[in-house]
Amino acid sequence: MARIVVVDDAKFMRLTLTTILEKGNHEVVGEAENGIDAISIFDQLQPDLITMDITMPEMNGLDALKAIKKKAPQAKVIMCSAMGQQKMVVEAIEAGAKDFIVKPFEENRVLEAINRVLG
């Protein structure tokens, strides 16, 4: 079981992901709706893993990913986005994301990605 923070500007998406993660016996220890809050919550909670939306207000997921990896190079972050665009995937992986999952979330794909990254 992992301690996970879910970051997405849409409450419905956070709820969907939390439900999937809890079914997979993981614990969602925190949530954020933008990159600024994500960095703050990461600092406070030191989770095992973060799921991070790319497109968010105030600070996007790529900038938050870069800030978190700069502070904590060992941080495990999985990016989430409705845009399965190659450029975004490549940029996120280059910035240190461990995997990339596309919305709408498929339960099996989400849990496979989480377990592989934590593995």
Cis amide bond preceding 104, omega within 30 = yes
List pLDDT tens digits, range 57-88. 999 999 999 999 999 999 999 999 876 667 88
Identify the pLDDT of residue 88.
81
- Residues 24-59, buried b or exposed e (16+ Cβ, 10 A)? bebebbbbbbbbbbbbebbeeeebbbbbbbbebeee
Residue 6 and residue 21 in contact, taking contact as beta carbons nearer than 8 Å: yes
Q: What domains does the chain contain, in order, with CATH numbers?
A: 3-118 (3.40.50.2300)
Identify the pLDDT of residue 39.
98
Ranges under pLDDT 70 in the chain: 83-85
Identify the pLDDT of residue 41.
98
Identify the pLDDT of residue 8.
97
Q: Cα(110)–Cα(20) distance, rounded to whole angstroms?
A: 8
Burial environment of residue 62 by CB neighbours within 10 A (0 to 12, 13 to 18, 19 or more): buried
Q: pTM score > 0.85 for this model?
A: yes
Residue 61 and residue 55 in contact, taking contact as beta carbons nearer than 8 Å: yes
Identify the pLDDT of residue 82.
79
Identify the pLDDT of residue 114.
96
Give the rounded percent of residues in the chain with a pLDDT score beyond 90. 87
In the chain, the N- to C-terminal Cα span, in Å, equals: 11
Identify the pLDDT of residue 85.
66
Alpha helices (H) in the chain, listed in sequence order? 11-23, 35-45, 61-71, 86-94, 107-118
Identify the pLDDT of residue 83.
63
